[in-house]
Amino acid sequence: MKPFQMGLTTLEQEVNLEALPVRGRIPSWLSGALFRNGPAHFQGGHWFDGLAMIHKFSFKAGVVSYANRFLRTEAYRRVMSGSGSSGFGTGGARGGNNANVSILKIDHHFLALTESPGVVEFDPADLSTKGLFPFDDEIPAHMTTAHPHLDIHTGQIINFTVQFGKTNQYHVYTMDPVTAKRRLIGSVETHEPTYMHSFAVTQRYVILVEFPLLIQAAMLAGGHSFADSLAWKAERGTRLVVMNKATGNVERIVQGEAGFGYHVINAFEKGSDIIVDVCMSGSAAAITNLYIDQMTSEAEGQSHPKFKRFILSPGQPDARCEVLSPETMELPSIYYKQCNGRDYRYAYGISTSSARPENVSNQLIKIDTATGQAWIWHEEDNYPGEPVFVPTPGAIEEDGGVLLSVVLDGLQGKSYLLVLDAKNLEEIGRAEVPHHIPFGFHGIYTDERMI
pLDDT in tens, 186-244: 999 999 999 999 999 999 999 999 999 999 987 777 777 899 999 999 999 999 999 99
pLDDT at 157 over 90: yes
pLDDT at 276 over 60: yes
For residue 74, give the H/E element and its range: helix 74-80
Transcribe 273-339 into DSSP letters.
Answer: EEEEEEEEBSSSHHHHTTBHHHHTSSS----PPEEEEEEE-TT-SB-EEEEEEEEE-EEEE--HHHH
Kindly indicate the confidence band of residue 92, based on its pLDDT and cuts at 50, 70 and 90. Answer: low
Q: Is this model's pTM higher than 0.85 or not? A: yes
Q: Give which of 171, 198, 169, 170 is closest to 184, Cα–Cα.
A: 171
CA 409 to chain centre: 22
E strands of 338-434, at which residues?
A: 346-351, 363-368, 374-377, 382-384, 388-391, 401-409, 414-421, 427-432
User: Could you list the residue range(s) of the whole structural domain that residue 189 is in?
Assistant: 5-446
Count the domains in the chain: 1
pLDDT at 300 over 70: no
pLDDT at 94 over 70: no
pLDDT tens digits, 61-72: 999 999 999 999
Cα 38 to Cα 49: distance, rounded to the nearest angstrom: 10
Q: Output phi, psi for 56, to 5 deg.
A: -130, 125
Q: Give which of 18, 34, 207 is closest to 110, Cα–Cα.
A: 34
pLDDT at 357 over 90: no
pLDDT for res 217? 81
**Domain assignment present for 226:** yes
The amino acid occupying position 112 is A
Dihedral of the alpha carbons of 279, 362, 368, 278, in degrees to the nearest 10: 0
pLDDT tens digits, 303-336: 789 999 999 999 999 999 999 999 999 999 999 9
The amino acid occupying position 397 is E
The average pLDDT across 257-272 equals 97
Q: In residues, how long is the chain?
A: 451
Identify the DSSP state of 5.
G
Cα 403 to Cα 27: distance, rounded to the nearest angstrom: 11
pLDDT tens digits, 2-60: 899 999 999 999 999 999 999 999 999 999 999 999 999 998 789 999 999 999 999 99
Cα 93 to Cα 85: distance, rounded to the nearest angstrom: 7
pLDDT for res 84? 74
Cα 107 to Cα 347: distance, rounded to the nearest angstrom: 27
The average pLDDT across 77-94 equals 79
Is residue 13 within 8 Å of residue 422, measured between CB atoms? Answer: no
**Domain assignment present for 312:** yes
pLDDT tens digits, 406-448: 999 999 999 999 999 999 999 999 999 999 999 999 999 999 7
Exposure of 123 by Cβ count < 10 A (0-12 exposed, 13-18 middle, 19+ buried)?
A: middle
Kindly indicate the confidence band of residue 450, based on its pLDDT and cuts at 50, 70 and 90. Answer: low
**Domain assignment present for 51:** yes
3 state DSSP class of 48: helix
Kindly indicate the confidence band of residue 138, based on its pLDDT and cuts at 50, 70 and 90. Answer: confident
The amino acid occupying position 342 is R
Transcribe 184-218 into DSSP letters.
Answer: EEEEEEESS-B--S--EE-SSEEEEEE-SEEE-HH
Question: Sheet containing 443-446: which strands, arranged edge to edge?
Answer: 16-17, 63-70, 51-60, 33-41, 443-446
pLDDT tens digits, 160-193: 999 999 999 999 999 999 888 999 999 999 999 9
pLDDT at 93 over 70: no
Kindly indicate the confidence band of residue 402, based on its pLDDT and cuts at 50, 70 and 90. Answer: very high
Q: What is the CATH number of the domain that holds 89?
A: 2.130.10
**Domain assignment present for 451:** no
